[in-house]
Amino acid sequence: MKKIFWITLITLFSLAAASLLVVQYVQMRRTVEVSDNLFNISVNNAMDDMIEQLNRLKVEDYIGQNDRYKLLKFKRIEELNNRMLDVVKRNYNVFYDTTLVNVGTTMIDSVLLLQGVTVSAADSDAIAQYNTLLATRDRLLNSPEFYNQFVTDISEYVVDNILTSNSFNYILLDSLIVNKLMVNGVDIAPYVGVYDLTNDKFLYCNKEGMEKKLSQSPYKYRFHPDGMMSPNEYFILLQFPLSSLLLKENSTIYFVLSLILVLLILILFFLSMRAFFRKEKLDEMKNDFINNMTHEIKTPIATIGLACEMLQDPNIGSDPESNKTYIGIIGDENRRMRMLVETILQSSKMSSKNFQLNLKEIDLNNTIENVAANFKLQISSRQGELKCNLDASPSIILGDELHITNMIYNLIDNAIKYSVNQLEINISTRIEGDNILLSVSDHGLGISKEDQKHIFEKFYRVSTGNIHNVKGFGIGLSYVHQVVALHKGTITVDSTLGEGTTFTVTLPKE
């Protein structure tokens, strides 16, 4: 039931996180779509206003300063010509026939009076006014060719060449576009191009190399400046310098941040769940450890108690052989209890950062023989056999005698416990380079590949299936691993289920 609950909880949490991401993504897409629409509307409104304002401007507003000066000068000359023509028309009885005076198309250098005309005071004023206008116009002309030449130039300039020439005021165009965009809430300065569709060419681009992108831009606006009579089709093209809209980028950033936050929540959730399961496992291991340790200690206590009761029996206590047997049992069980307690204490001490080994030269072969002697009675009682092939010579190592002894004891004790049927243990040593190799082999239950990954973990016990007579509390091999590591050695396991196990310890000679 508990397993189903946790699976359901994890599944629901994962679905909730995935749903949150989907909702966030959909919301981001909708926000971007709305943003795109608003942006396009703002740009279109700005360009409509800009083109309307552009069409209201006069021709002299389009052109550069030098050409603007010429155009204004030309208009002033036209004005003087018109006034001179008006004087002639109002005083036709003094001047030649006005039909012969083509003012406006030909420069009037002088006007002759009609023969035999009597000049009155009013006529004198008209002649003086005409001459004043003539003198003023001549000062503006500078040269007699100015009028004819400029009339031709300015006519072509206004009608056909206003955009193709370098005189068009493109700075004004850029300024109008940026200003209208700002008014409509678009604060991104675009790339601007003027495109002649009829001749398929760009007349202007404010950023070199942007012509290709501008030609693909969706922001395309037809325009026809006032005063232009050309049949060509002209378009203003805009391309915004960002690869995407700022809001789109911001939305993407926010979505990525949301994704990161959700992933962090998921990671924290799974870390919390793993910590919880670890705690559950540790609690279970702790309970197993306490139960196993209690059982391990209760057994020798019960055995010692039973042996004491037997010694107190008058019928048995008087038999020297029986006394010797029961005293031996008490000694063995006491030694066994002492070793259990010693293993737990030493393992606890090794977990401390301040722990240090008491190093000295010890003979590994002699230590193995001494430890093996303590197991002879136990092995004999089970009709087993312990063989020692101690070929390492010399077998001197630099180590802590207490912990090396306990390490060997735990390896032999472990081999005995898991040899349920055939109790045959082989202990061997050999030299390999600068190291001494110690191997402890048995023909017991063996260890599965999965269990081999965890056998050196504290409190971990190898599963024995339906067999529950294997004693121990999961600390022996962990202690062995600690001892080997502190001596800068290594330990490996080679095991096959149902065939046996071999532990190999490699220790440096120095």
User: Phi and psi for 283 in degrees, rounded to 5?
Assistant: -60, -40
20 in any annotated domain: yes
120 in any annotated domain: yes
Number of domains in the chain: 3
- Looking at the structure, do residues 482 and 412 belong to the same domain, yes or no? yes
Per-residue pLDDT, 440: 93
CATH number at residue 387: 3.30.565.10
- Looking at the structure, do residues 378 and 477 belong to the same domain, yes or no? yes
54 in any annotated domain: yes
Axis-axis angle for helices 476-486, 401-417 (nearest 10) = 150
Which segment, 11-15, 76-80, 245-249, 362-366, is predicted with the most confidence on average?
Answer: 362-366
- Looking at the structure, do residues 490 and 372 belong to the same domain, yes or no? yes
pTM for the full predicted model: 0.45
| 271-303 tens-digit pLDDT | 777 777 777 777 776 776 677 677 667 777 877
- Looking at the structure, do residues 130 and 189 belong to the same domain, yes or no? no
Could you give the CA distance from residue 40 to residue 52 in angstroms, rounded to a whole number? 18
| 422-442 tens-digit pLDDT | 788 999 999 988 899 999 999
**Burial zone of 258 (CB within 10 Å; 0-12 exposed, 13-18 middle, 19+ buried):** middle
- Looking at the structure, do residues 360 and 443 belong to the same domain, yes or no? yes
- Looking at the structure, do residues 219 and 73 belong to the same domain, yes or no? no
Q: Of 153-157, 164-168, 222-226, give the lowest mean pLDDT range.
A: 153-157
- Looking at the structure, do residues 379 and 463 belong to the same domain, yes or no? yes
Which two three-digit tokens encode residue 330?
A: 């008490």
> One-letter amino acid identity for 143?
S
444 in any annotated domain: yes
494 in any annotated domain: yes
Tell which of 187, 209, 241 closes a domain: 241
303 in any annotated domain: no
Please spell the DSSP secondary structure of 396-455, one letter per residue.
Answer: EEEE-HHHHHHHHHHHHHHHHHT-SS--EEEEEEEEETTEEEEEEEE-SS---HHHHTTT
271 in any annotated domain: no
Q: Residue 464 pLDDT > 60, yes or no? A: no
Q: Quick one: pLDDT band at residue 492, thresholds 50, 70, 90?
A: very high
337 in any annotated domain: no
Tell which of 241, 262, 277 closes a domain: 241
- Looking at the structure, do residues 14 and 49 belong to the same domain, yes or no? yes
Tell which of 107, 141, 158 closes a domain: 158
Could you give the CA distance from residue 214 to residue 197 in angstroms, rounded to a whole number? 13
- Looking at the structure, do residues 397 and 449 belong to the same domain, yes or no? yes
- Looking at the structure, do residues 10 and 109 belong to the same domain, yes or no? no
Which segment, 81-85, 119-123, 170-174, 402-406, is predicted with the most confidence on average?
Answer: 402-406
How many Cα atoms are found within 13 Å in the side-chain-facing hemisphere of 320?
A: 0
* Residue ranges making up the domain that contains 93: 65-158
Q: Residue 469 pLDDT > 70, yes or no? A: no
Q: Residue 55 pLDDT > 60, yes or no? A: yes
- Looking at the structure, do residues 46 and 97 belong to the same domain, yes or no? no
* Residues 6+ away with beta carbon under 8 Å from 366: 395
DSSP 106: B
